[in-house]
């Protein structure tokens, strides 16, 4: 790591760090928490979708752009620049420190998340807006998708990568913003980051499990009323 850093890099690094926590990190945790409604029932999961879809379309789109996509795009783009500059030494030196391991895994998880999010966003949000059909992000569609073992694995790895990236990001954020100055404080936040990583991963995987716990809603079939049913006794004699 370079011993000196320009003021521009210093400021950009701080902005990159904070966007990873707020709003991107917060949104990820909130998003996974709402997805755990899949455990309750298909109707409960769909009610979350319908709540957001019930908002005025221009307001929802503006909120997504300002609070999610712009910060996420900046965090991803500048993150790729950081990865390009990085010089990993965990595998090439004898210094197998936990910080070096986290340094490598943070960048590896960032690359994994980048490609995962491209697929996830295109196959959900972009497709929903392009088709005007919110059914593609409701319970039945997700259940059908995740019963494909390859896609299930992709989502499990994607959640694992994002959870680790957030957990380590909290540790890095506290150091970069001067919240944890002493070595003892940094060790404490490192333990907290580990707990966050495990908790968010489990929450995301529980949400995935919910799509295997219930029968899809399907298309309801209206029952035939007795008034419309054919009279099979017509023309019959004892």
Q: Which tens digits make up the pLDDT trace of 173-197?
A: 999 999 999 999 999 999 999 999 9
Q: Is residue 118, in this structure, part of any structural domain at all?
A: yes
Task: Please report where in the chains the tokens 């879809």 appear, as a residue.
Answer: 53
Q: Are 17 and 173 in contact (CB under 8 A)?
A: yes
Task: Please report where in the chains the tokens 């997504």 appear, as a residue.
Answer: 64
Q: Is residue 235, in this structure, part of any structural domain at all?
A: no
Q: Is residue 218, in this structure, part of any structural domain at all?
A: no
Q: Is residue 137, in this structure, part of any structural domain at all?
A: yes
**Any idea of the CA torsion for 62, 143, 157, 61, to the nearest 10 degrees?**
0
Between CA 11 and CA 21 the distance in angstroms is 16
Q: Which tens digits make up the pLDDT trace of 213-227?
A: 999 988 443 344 444
Between CA 139 and CA 117 the distance in angstroms is 20
The CATH number of whichever domain residue 107 belongs to comes to 1.20.1300.10
Percent helix, strand and coil across the chain, each rounded to 5? 75, 0, 25
Q: Is residue 226, in this structure, part of any structural domain at all?
A: no
Q: Which two structure tokens, joined as six digits, stand for 82?
A: 């950081």
**Any idea of the CA torsion for 28, 194, 22, 176, to the nearest 10 degrees?**
-150
More confident residue, 218 or 164: 164
Q: Are 192 and 162 in contact (CB under 8 A)?
A: no
Q: Is residue 81, in this structure, part of any structural domain at all?
A: yes
Task: Please report where in the chains the tokens 């998003």 appear, as a residue.
Answer: 31
* CA 66 to centroid of chain Cα atoms: 18
Q: Which two structure tokens, joined as six digits, stand for 121?
A: 């966003």
Q: Which tens digits make up the pLDDT trace of 73-113?
A: 999 999 999 888 877 776 666 666 777 888 889 999 999 99
Q: How many folded domains does the chain comprise?
A: 1
Q: Which tens digits make up the pLDDT trace of 13-70?
A: 899 999 999 999 999 999 999 999 999 999 999 999 999 999 998 999 999 999 999 9
This prediction has a pTM of: 0.84
Q: Which tens digits make up the pLDDT trace of 102-148?
A: 888 999 999 999 999 999 999 999 999 999 999 999 999 999 999 99
Q: Are 234 and 204 in contact (CB under 8 A)?
A: no
Q: Are 113 and 165 in contact (CB under 8 A)?
A: yes
Domain that holds residue 89: 7-212
Q: Is residue 163, in this structure, part of any structural domain at all?
A: yes
DSSP label of 189: H
Q: Is residue 127, in this structure, part of any structural domain at all?
A: yes
């Amino acid at each position: 790591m370079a011993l000196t850093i320009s003021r521009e890099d210093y400021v950009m690094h701080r902005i990159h760090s904070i966007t990873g926590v707020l709003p991107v990190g917060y949104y990820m945790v909130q998003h996974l928490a709402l997805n755990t409604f899949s455990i309750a029932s298909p109707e409960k999961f769909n009610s979350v979708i319908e709540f957001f879809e019930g908002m005025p379309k221009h307001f929802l789109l503006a909120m997504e752009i300002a609070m999610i996509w712009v910060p996420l795009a900046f965090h991803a783009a500048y993150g790729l620049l950081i990865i390009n500059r990085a010089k990993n030494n965990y595998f090439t030196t004898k210094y197998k420190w936990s910080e070096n391991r986290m340094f490598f895994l943070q960048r590896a998880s960032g690359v994994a998340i980048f490609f995962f999010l491209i697929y996830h966003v295109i196959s959900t949000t972009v497709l929903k807006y392009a088709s005007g059909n919110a059914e593609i992000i409701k319970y039945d569609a997700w259940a059908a998708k995740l019963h494909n073992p390859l896609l299930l694995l992709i989502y499990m790895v994607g959640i694992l990568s994002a959870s680790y990236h957030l957990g380590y990001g909290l540790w890095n954020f506290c150091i970069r913003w001067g919240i944890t100055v002493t070595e003892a404080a940094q060790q404490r936040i490192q333990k907290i980051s580990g707990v966050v990583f495990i908790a968010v991963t489990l929450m995301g995987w529980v949400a995935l499990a919910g799509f295997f716990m219930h029968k899809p809603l399907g298309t309801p079939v209206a029952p035939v009323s007795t008034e419309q049913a054919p009279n099979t006794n017509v023309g019959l004699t004892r």
